[in-house]
Structure 1
Amino acid sequence: MFRLIWTVSVRTRYFLRRYMPTNIVLDAIRTRRGLRWGIPAMLLALPYLYGASVVTTLIAGGAPGWLHLVVLLMVWNSMKFIIMGPVSLFLLVRARASESRGRLVEHRAATAGARPYQSV
């Protein structure tokens, strides 16, 4: 039974990571090239929050109750984008610091072997 639950959860996660639009965008932002788009991607939370507001208004006006799931999904997606902004900023600073350290080490290694006036 445990193996079945594990397998279903792994396959569900794979499907959601592979085919859901918000997860595709967030995976693209997590790459080194995409880290700079984390803060602007926070703006994508606004349409989701607006959509959640509209659906909530529809529910209050007598729409079916299963639309609460749509509201939950929209709020969840907006939270993912809101959280990804600061996280991508942190990851970008960390990546740039690492690249800077690497360039510094390369520069020191290159200049250490090329001293023109060494005394013997």
Structure 2
Amino acid sequence: MFEIILAAIARSYFFLRRFMPTAIVIDAINMRRGLKWGVPAMPLAVPYALAAIYCRSQIEAGGSGWLNLLVIVCLWNTLKLLLIGPISLLKLIVVRVREAVARRRMARVLLIEGAEPIDERMLVSGRS
């Protein structure tokens, strides 16, 4: 019985990771190319917050109690999209520092090996 429950949870988790809009956006932002889009993606939280407010007002007006689940989902998505901005900025800073350190190390290794001095900007652009 436990295996059936675990399998159902795993399948639903992977289904949600693949097809839910906020999961797709956050996965795209967490890649190296997408780190710069974390802050511009933060306003996507506004429609989810408005949907949560609307569902909550429907519940208070006598609507179905199942709308509470939608409120929770909308608030969770709002929180995820609001937090991805600062998190992606921190990740971008870390990645850029690591890339700068790697460029400096590569230039130092090339100088030690006797290669002619090169400009660090040439390493970034790929030209030599």
TM over 0.5: yes
Give the gaps of 5 or more residues in structure 2: 117-128
- Indicate the residue corresponding to 2:120 in structure 1: none
Q: 1:112 offset after TM fit, Å?
A: 1.6
Report percent identity of matched pairs.
Answer: 42
Give the superposed CA RMSD: 1.5
- Indicate the residue corresponding to 1:114 in structure 2: 114
- Indicate the residue corresponding to 1:80 in structure 2: 80
Matched residues in 1 for 2:54 and 2:3: separation? 41
SS of alignment partner, residue 83 of structure 2: helix
Matched residues in 1 for 2:5 and 2:106: separation? 49
- Indicate the residue corresponding to 2:53 in structure 1: 53
Query: For residues 9-20 of structure 1, what are the structure 2 equivalents within 5 Å?
Result: 9-20=9-20
Amino acid in the other structure paired with 2:79:
M
Say whether 1:96 aligns with 2:99. no
Q: 1:35 offset after TM fit, Å?
A: 0.5
Query: For residues 28-47 of structure 1, what are the structure 2 equivalents within 5 Å?
Result: 28-47=28-47
SS of alignment partner, residue 31 of structure 2: coil
Q: Which has the higher contact order (CA 8 A, sep 6+)?
A: 1
Q: 1:5 offset after TM fit, Å?
A: 2.5
Structure 1 runs (4+) greater than 3 angstroms displaced: none
Give the gaps of 5 or more residues in structure 1: none
* Greater shift in the superposed pair: 56-65 or 77-86: 56-65
Q: 1:106 offset after TM fit, Å?
A: 0.7
Q: 1:99 offset after TM fit, Å?
A: 0.8
Number of aligned residues: 116
Matched residues in 1 for 2:98 and 2:82: separation? 25
- Indicate the residue corresponding to 1:71 in structure 2: 71
TM-score, normalised with respect to structure 2? 0.83
Say whether 1:22 aligns with 2:22. yes
